[in-house]
Structure formats: C-alpha cells, structure tokens
Amino acid sequence: MDIGKFSLDFFSLANKVAMVTGGNSGLGQAFSLALAKAGASVYVPTVIKEDGATKSLLTDEGVKAIFNVTDITQKGVPETVVKDCVEKLGRLDILVNCAGICLEDPVLDFGLEKWEAMVAINLNAAFEMSHQAARVMVPQNSGKIINVCSMFTFLGGLRSPAYAATKHGIAGLTKAYCDELAQYNIQVNGLAPGYFATAITTVTRENPVTNQRVLDHIPTNRWGQRLDLMGALVFLASPASDYVNGHILTVDGGYLVR
C-alpha cells in the first residue's frame, strides 16, 4: 500500500459495532467511551445494572448503545449476547474482553472456591466470548478481538495465584486465536494496563507506604489514569493496527522495565 494513502481515518471506527464485556464501570467504561468517540456503536453485557450514566456518555457521541444485564459466565449466555448484538446492531466488528475480578488471600488460604470463581470470569468467559465472536467474524472476513491483560500477565501475583494464572492464560489465548484467525483478517491482541487509579486500587493508593512502593516501580512516577488507555484501545480496534497481531500492548508508565 502506498504510504500516501495513510490518513487519520485509519483510526476511525465509524459504522463499526463493538462489544465490551463489563463495559459500564472502571476501565471498561473508559473503553466503551473511547470506542464510541471513535464512531462505533457499543453493546455492553454486564452483571452490574446500568444506571444510565454510561449510556448517556455513549449516546452523547451520536452512536447507539445497548446494555444487557446478564452473566456471561453462565452456560449459553455468550452465544446469546453475540446473537442479540448482531440482531440489534447488524454486525459485530470488535470484541473487548474486559470483565474480570481479583479475589485475594494468602496462598495457604486461597482455595478452590476463589480459584474457580476467577477462572470462570477471567478466562473461561473470555474464551467463550471470543469463540462466539469468531463465528461471526470469520464469515465476514474481518474483526478485532482485544483481551484485557495485566502486569500479572508477565509477573507472579502475591495473594492471588488465580489472578496471575488467568492473566497468563489470557495471553496464551490471545496468541492461539491470532495464530488461527489471522488468515481471516481478524486481529487478536492483548492490552495490559499497569497500575491505574481506579476504585479497586484505592486502598493501595491511600496508604503512604504501599502507594510509594508502587510509584518507586514506575519510571513515569505516577499512577495511570483511565484516559491513558483509551488511545491504545482505539488503535487496537481500528484499521491502523491491521498488521498488529498476537501482541500484548503494555500501557504501564514503564513499570516492566524497572
């Protein structure tokens, strides 16, 4: 392709349809809004009832937004929500597997119950959603699957062996799906946030000792803000990344180099 054809339209998601699991809170809300701002209509399956705030943010961008209160860990639900998305919005171009949880306990107390709960949402649901999305994307010969990874995709995880295991697993799923789906013009990548100032890190940030411990590990010397992730997400969802495949993009302020 001649380089003269490049334009900022490569980053546009106009007329695209995106699905963001867990897309009405935390990082997922920022991802949903980023996709909407780029022009995509957004479908959000979530276990948290939408109070209207996130939907207003999305529809204010002039796109369609559908919220489906459901549990994607339950058998058959991933297939149902993908079909519902296609029926209501006409297609599915982008899947962002964002839904996840992190349960903690010392390793000797971290039992099978917590392990299974985290595997169900962090890994099994991401696999099922990707499987169902691929069944739509392969016939249309295009698509983007973006799996939300973590620093613990690369590191161990104190007090949560299941979090580290599932985030390592999601990287493996990303690479495996890339290897098979690339021939159908489907890009499968991971997005790995570093330490971000969200509700789940409040306790760590409010404790001067643990807050400084984190900052000492980040060359940028600040916690990430959700805004820092939005451009990276749009890049991975857009035609600008059509030759990026099987990659885990870290947005961590340099955390992994120190």
Question: What are 123-141's pLDDT values in tens digits?
Answer: 999 999 999 999 999 999 9
Alpha-carbon distance 60 to 49, whole Å?
20
Instruction: Answer whether residue 1 shows pLDDT above 70.
Output: no
Please report the pLDDT score of residue 131 as a whole number.
98
Region 209-223: mean pLDDT is 96
Alpha-carbon distance 64 to 11, whole Å?
19
- Average pLDDT over all residues of the chain: 96
Q: Is residue 71 part of a domain?
A: yes
Q: Is residue 4 part of a domain?
A: no
Name the pTM for this structure. Answer: 0.97
Positions marked catalytic: 163
Q: State how far Cα 122 lies from the chain centre.
A: 11
Q: Is residue 54 part of a domain?
A: yes
Q: Is residue 72 part of a domain?
A: yes
Region 24-30: mean pLDDT is 95
Alpha-carbon distance 184 to 193, whole Å?
28
Higher per-residue pLDDT: 177 or 158: 177
Q: Is residue 3 part of a domain?
A: no
Instruction: Answer whether residue 38 shows pLDDT above 80.
Output: yes
What residues have CB less than 8 Å from 58, skipping those under 6 apart? 32, 33, 36, 42, 65
* Sign of the alpha-carbon torsion through 117, 84, 229, 178: positive
**Residues 40 and 94 sit within 8 Å (Cβ to Cβ):** yes
Q: How far is CA 220 from CA 139, 152, 194, 227, in A?
A: 43, 19, 11, 15
Alpha-carbon distance 123 to 107, whole Å?
20
Q: Is residue 25 part of a domain?
A: yes
Alpha-carbon distance 229 to 222, whole Å?
14
Please report the pLDDT score of residue 208 as a whole number.
96
Range of the structural domain that residue 145 is part of: 12-252
CATH number for the domain that contains residue 65: 3.40.50.720
Region 44-53: mean pLDDT is 88
Alpha-carbon distance 171 to 169, whole Å?
5
Please report the pLDDT score of residue 48 as a whole number.
86
Q: Is residue 258 part of a domain?
A: no
Domain count across the chain: 1
